[in-house]
């Protein structure tokens, strides 16, 4: 019997169904338990093993093979029951021969047995600090630090540990975040994602526009198919009010990743600041379509609706933004401004005061978007 370790995750209904793991039409809940090194893909040094749940006591092994995930169902003796390859673009599956799947599963089980401690550190280092199953940021930092200092990892894996550790630092440790981003590119200078993340940190933390632009351009040079690199450089141009350049970079990012809310939202912001309000609203509609729980999508669409003097629609968007994120100070500011415009001065002033209490600089974006704030 294989020992369990790790965090909860959810297998999609399509894949659980293809493997026979669907339970009453719902996704199968399973547990991550292991990992192995993968030097063919610098974006992750891990292959995954998932254990428990599903039908009976069968196991699930998931393996990265040239960017495609192989999902392999085995029994408790490690014998393959069924295996499919998932196309990430469509979430459709194709069958894998059992003999091929058996070799992959055997390798995963063998690695897990020999590298349980290392795998455990990687799971914690890679885990998200936000989301359905968040890890404690301190634990994430400690795990990533262990991997960085172990002397057992390749340069690409060490760089990844630096990148993950940077994610764990909060606003109060912004300088540490920037330092880890810088260390990642020193350790692995050909890692496009490391350069893209350094670019973003230089833009927002050190606010060194020149260096940030150079870092994003380096990321694009190394990997022109990186939506993050194009997006983060677009963010620089949006900040410097080079709106046409920003839109061009966001266009590239959206072609590479059509359902990523960030470049969609920021491209809409660029159009809004160019006074192309209807075009901006199209992007904000798409943001809400792909991420209905993203408060900024409702906020930005509400601001655009205000620019069109459609106060009822703006009011509804600000209210939804607050429902999604009760700490959205900008949403309260928008709500207050609309209430004042509709004649409710007392209610409006109360919402504006709450907005400023949540964020003293809350008026900046509204002013930038052409909305005066009293």
Contact call for residues 263 and 253 (beta carbons, < 8 A): yes
**pLDDT at residue 49, rounded to an integer:** 46
Contact call for residues 135 and 127 (beta carbons, < 8 A): yes
Q: 86-95, 99-108, 141-150, 321-330: which range is least confident on average?
A: 86-95
Q: What average pLDDT does this structure show over 27-50?
A: 43
Q: Cα(107)–Cα(104) distance, rounded to whole angstroms?
A: 5
**Contacts of 126 by beta carbon, 8 Å cutoff, 6+ apart:** 44, 46, 164
Q: What are the residue boundaries of the structural domains of the chain, listed by start?
A: 8-114, 116-189
Query: Percent of the chain at pLDDT above 90?
Result: 61
Q: Quick check: 76 pLDDT over 90?
A: no
How much is the mean pLDDT over the chain? 85
Q: 228-232, 303-307, 316-320, 356-360: which range is least confident on average?
A: 356-360
Instruction: Report the DSSP beta bridge partners of residue 86.
Output: 69, 93
Question: SS3 for 128?
Answer: coil
pLDDT tens digits along 51-73? 444 444 577 787 777 667 788 88
Q: Cα(258)–Cα(251) distance, rounded to whole angstroms?
A: 9
DSSP annotation of 171: G
pLDDT tens digits along 291-338? 999 999 999 999 999 999 999 999 999 999 999 999 999 999 999 999
Tokens representing 183 are 């260390």
Dihedral (Cα; 95, 99, 105, 108), 10-degree rounding:
-120
**pLDDT at residue 91, rounded to an integer:** 63
338 by Cβ neighbours in 10 Å (0-12 / 13-18 / 19+) ranks as buried
**Contacts of 52 by beta carbon, 8 Å cutoff, 6+ apart:** 4, 30, 31, 33, 59
Q: Quick check: 265 pLDDT over 80?
A: yes
Tokens representing 317 are 């968007």
Query: Which region, left, alpha or beta, applies to residue 371 given φ > 0 means left and ψ of -120 to 50 means alpha?
Result: beta
99-119: buried (b, 16+ CB within 10 Å) or exposed (e) per residue?
Answer: eebbebbeebbebbeebeebb
Strands (E), the chain: 8-10, 29-36, 47-51, 59-65, 68-74, 80-87, 92-95
**pLDDT at residue 116, rounded to an integer:** 67
pLDDT tens digits along 151-204? 988 898 899 999 999 999 998 999 999 999 999 999 999 999 999 999 999 999
For 359, phi and psi rounded to 5 degrees?
-155, 105
């Amino acid at each position: 019997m294989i020992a369990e370790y790790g965090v909860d995750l959810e297998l999609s209904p399509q894949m659980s169904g293809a493997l026979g793991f669907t339970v009453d039409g719902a996704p199968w809940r399973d547990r991550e338990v292991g990992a192995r090194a993968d030097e063919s893909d610098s974006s992750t040094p891990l292959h995954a093993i998932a254990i428990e749940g599903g039908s009976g006591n069968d196991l699930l092994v998931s393996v990265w093979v040239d960017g495609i995930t192989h999902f392999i169902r085995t029994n408790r003796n490690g014998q393959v029951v069924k295996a499919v390859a998932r196309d990430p673009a469509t979430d459709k599956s194709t069958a894998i021969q059992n003999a091929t799947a058996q070799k992959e599963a055997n390798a995963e089980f063998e690695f897990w047995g020999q590298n349980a401690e290392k795998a455990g550190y990687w799971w914690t280092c890679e885990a998200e600090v936000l989301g359905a199953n968040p890890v404690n940021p301190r634990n994430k930092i400690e795990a990533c630090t262990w991997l960085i200092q172990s002397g057992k990892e390749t340069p690409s894996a060490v760089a990844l540990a630096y990148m993950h550790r940077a994610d764990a630092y909060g606003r109060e440790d912004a300088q540490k975040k920037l330092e880890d981003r810088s260390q990642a590119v020193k350790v692995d200078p050909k890692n496009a994602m490391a350069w893209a993340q350094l670019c973003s940190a230089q833009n927002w933390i050190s606010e060194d526009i020149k260096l940030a632009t150079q870092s994003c351009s380096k990321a694009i040079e190394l990997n022109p198919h990186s939506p993050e690199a194009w997006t983060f450089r677009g963010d620089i141009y949006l900040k410097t009010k080079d709106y046409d350049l920003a839109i061009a970079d966001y266009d590239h990012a959206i072609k590479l990743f059509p359902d990523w809310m960030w470049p969609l939202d920021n491209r809409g912001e660029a159009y809004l600041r160019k006074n192309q309000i209807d075009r901006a609203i199209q992007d904000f509609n798409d943001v809400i379509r792909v991420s209905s729980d993203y408060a900024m999508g409702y906020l930005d669409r509400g601001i655009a609706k205000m620019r069109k003097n459609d106060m009822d629609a703006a009011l509804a968007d600000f209210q939804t933004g607050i429902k999604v994120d009760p700490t959205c100070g900008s949403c309260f500011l928008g709500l207050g401004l609309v209430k004042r415009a509709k004649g409710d001065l007392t209610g409006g002033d109360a919402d504006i005061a709450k907005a400023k209490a949540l964020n003293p600089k809350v008026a900046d974006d509204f002013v930038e978007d052409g909305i005066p704030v009293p």
